[in-house]
Each structure stands twice: as structure tokens, then as C-alpha cells.
Structure 1
Amino acid sequence: MRPAPAPATTRTALGFLQVSTIRGAARSYVCEPDDDAAEPRLLLGLHTSGEATLIRGDAAEPCRAGELFVCDPAERFTLHESEAFELHLVRMPRRALTLTDAQTRALGRRAPFAGGAVAPLLVPLLRELVGVTPGYLPRTALHLAGGVAEFVTLLALEEVDSGPRERGQDRQDLVRRIRSHVDAHLWDRELSPASVAAAQHISVRYLHRLFESHGSTIGRWIQHRRLEEARRELGRPGSRDITVAAVARRWGFASATHFSRSFRAAYGVPPSAWRDDRTRLPGSPGTPTTDG
């Protein structure tokens, strides 16, 4: 019996996203590690037709058409395609995602999925985008790539929120209310453990105990959320017209100096460098190149 012909692969770019589309007959498709990638990346996969078994490490999971899966492209994975298939692999730089390393790892271990609040929105968007990728103007493509990155960030946060429930529904609901209150008042420089506790009619001591059980502190959570939103704003196309100091004020930082120091400590680069790198149009001077 003749071996199945090698699958046909096309590669395109959508802003800072690298899209590979693979079509072929039933076979095993091995994705080797991206050892020569210029920077850490995350890989989002979607079958538009076919059914496969996804092998990551020792885990084997069914992967059907319309289901998303996430992998670390620095690690080898295999898809045993059981029939003719079309597969889209979208590689994105991790710097485009406002996620911690732990959140990124958790998302990469998630079984292929199609449900939840985010996947039903992202799947048809990806199908549409990869079908007409070359037709977008560069700035439009950059906006669309940013939108995909936002959805992937939401996927990771949704996975955290939908994890095992801790004992005590009232306690869990209280933590959610506290986080919602923090998100609604990030702009307020007076936001503090004392003001949060007062808004929820609990003691500051009990507030600290709630966050200790989540492996954090309320102060670190407030700063983490402020940095996340500031980072997201700086990464949007068009943000070059906004000063770093204005972004710092908008998200409740006492000064631009404090913001820049905190941002660099969290992400390894100053906020201005993050904005310049994230909003640079493809093909402009200084844009890093990848092999897709």
C-alpha cells in the first residue's frame, strides 16, 4: 500500500499572528518544537474538518472539528488524523497575552473544547479570518490579531473561573464580588485593602485571609489588574498617540515613574518599549521576523 501523500501546507500572516493551514488525508501529523522561534509563542489549533487524537506528552485526547486546542509550540505534539482533514494552527507571541506563566501553562494543558462563553465566539471568528487573511490591510490585520489575542486571554481566565469550586458558596461569591469591585475601581488611586473591605462590609483581616487562600494578597491583586489593563491599552493599535504617563494615571498609578518601574518588574521591559514592539506594523523597521 502506498503511504498517504504529505499534507499540503500554506502559511500566511495576520498582524503578529502566524497562520498555518494543513490539509490532507488520514495520517499522523507531528508538530516539532519551534526551537528557532525568535520569542516564546503560544499555538492555537482548530480543525474545520476531520477528527483526530491529540497527543501531548503522555496524554491522548479526542479532537473534533470545531474544537479548539492550545499547545506550547516549544514542545512536540502529534495529531493522529483519522480521516481527511483541514487544520489551522495559529501561532501568537506570548507577549501579546496579558497572562501569567501559570495561566498560560494551564491553558496549554486544557483538553480540546468548543463550549463555554468564549470558544463559541472565537471559533467562527478564526474560520472567517483564516479564509481571507491576505486580503486585510496591515493596520486592520493588526487590530484583528489583537482581537484574537484578547479572546485567547479570556479563554485562559474562563478556565480559571470555571475550575473546581472551593468549599463554601458564600465565600466564593464574596471573592468574585471583591474582584468585580476592584475591576470597577482600578482608576481610583484611593483603592486599597481598607476601601475594598469597607465596600464589602468585612474586616481588612478577613479580606487578607480570603486572598491568602488564593495564593496572593489583595494589594498584589490590585497591582496585577492595573498592570494588565495598562498593558492591554498600550498594546492597542493607535496607542502611540497616548503618553505612558496618561495610561499610568488612567489605571490608578501614583506616578509614571512608579508605573514604569512596576511594569518593567512584571514584564521585563519598560512600557514604552512594550507599546512600540506591540503596535509596530508588519514589515516596518525593527519588526522581528519568524519562520511562521
Structure 2
Amino acid sequence: MATQIIETRDLVREYKKLRAVDHISFTVEPGEAVGYIGANGAGKSTTIKMLTGILRPTSGLVRTCGRDPLRERIALAREIGVVFGQRSQLWWDLPLQESFTILGAIHRLDPAVARVRSGELVDLLEMGGFLSTPVRQLSLGQRMRAEIAASLIHRPRLLILDEPTIGLDVLSKQRLRDFLGAERREHGTTLLLTTHDMGDIERLCDRVLVVDHGRLAYDGTLSGLAKTVGAERVMVVDLAPQAGHEGVAELRDIPGAALVGVEGEGTRQHLAFDPQATSAGAVLAAVSARADVLDLAIEEPDIEDVVRRIYAASR
């Protein structure tokens, strides 16, 4: 059995007037959760279609679960689950439960095993209240829970998610994120996630691949992504008013930090600093020497801004 769940080497996919994927190389190890992110048209969906055997590469190597996705597509289908946010693998006019029964048969699961597994997923994703409802009548949040369950009914080694939370409300997104995190911890499922929602990446992934115009612009951790472009952290401090004054003087000369926001007559101030150049402790010590600190918080770099900087640097 192959050690790597995904392997690509100099992977290229060309169309008549466009190279959608341009010599991309990366690997994904068992149990990893990897975010594959980029702007629209960057090459994300094309890569996924080659990983799953839907598209033939123009050149280069691709292996998924140790298999050639094109030549071993049927065997590969038993080892992967795929969720496309805009496409369904459920039977539109049938009650949801019947879709699960059919999918169990397609994957050649023993009927008793399929019933136990679908029951487990129904409980974990809280779908008991709409199992008898035709899929076409489900809300978007209900249908996406059902799509996730459908992709996992055969316990795949790899789960590929293409925009799984698109259009969902905050509660539905959190429910899906919690479930996916638990599935990975308990069963060792490998996740490959493409999304425009940075909350998905921050909560689910420990590694990020950034693709820009078909080329891999970054491969590493989320924290490393921010460090690559020198993204700043922001310390938000709540300060006690100075004696005889209603507010607090602006902290414009704190070493290693820049004042980027002031609220409430200076009682709340925002100081940006580069964690590679100075520490949060040093900034706090300098602030404490100037005013009484009542409370503080550290805001991490905005990931969307970091990704924009990566794009700019790669171009």
C-alpha cells in the first residue's frame, strides 16, 4: 500500500487557450488535513478532477491512494469520497434514507454494515428529522450534511471537499466543521479541502497549498503562510483612564509597534507588530510602562489578506 495518499509531480492540464494547471507537484500524507486555496480560475477544481479521474492530465504524474485515477477509477472510488458544493450525489426525488441505501449497494457494502454506518452518520450529523424527506425539499444546510454523509458511508481513506460550506449559515458551517474534525481524529480520514471561506481553513487544516494561475505559490502551515509575507499581529489593549482625564494618550511611540486604531478616547488601542521582529511580551511591557492595562487580546493576521499578498509576491 502506498505511503502517500496523494502524489502529483509536474502535473499539467492544458486547454486550447489556457494552461489551467502548470507543473504542480505536491504530496499529501495519510491523516493530513490540507487546504487547497486560490482565486477563481486558479486551477483548484481542475486539479481535483485529475486526482479523481474525471480529467486526463496533459502531462505529469498523479496518484491517488496509490492508484492511477484514470486507469483504476472504479477501484479508486471505493477509497475516496468527494463532495462538490454545487453538485449532488443524492437522488433528487427520493427520500434521503433511500439515497443512503442505494449508495451502500453501489459501494458493495453488506446491508447490515451499511445500515449501521448510515445510522452512525445520521446521529452525528443530526439528520434523523428529515430522513424521509425527498432530497429536493431539503434546505441547503440539510442537503450539505447529507452530501457529507453520502461521501463517507463507505469509510473512504481520502475525503475531497470542494466548497462544502458555500452558501451555508454560521450554525450549519460550524456543525459541519465540528463533524469533519471529529471524523479525522477518530478514523484517520485524510482531508483535502478547497474553499473561499478562510474559517474552514483555519478550523480544519494544518497545512495550506496556495495555487495562483495554475502554479503552486506556497506549501506550508497557516502560521508560516503569514510569516512568508511578513503579516502583522495586532494587540488590542484596554487601558484605564489617566487620573484627572477621561481618556488615555495615544501610544504612538511604542518600540516595534505601530498604532493602527484608537477607540473610546484612547481607552482601547490597537497596536500592530511583526512577530518576527518583536514579541507580544515586549510590546505589552512597553505599553504597561505608559498606562494601566485592564485587558488585552491578540488578533492574528487576516488569512484572506495574507493570501492576497502571496498572489502579489508570486506575480
TM-score by length of 1: 0.23
Bigger fraction of residues in strand:
2
TM-score by length of 2: 0.22
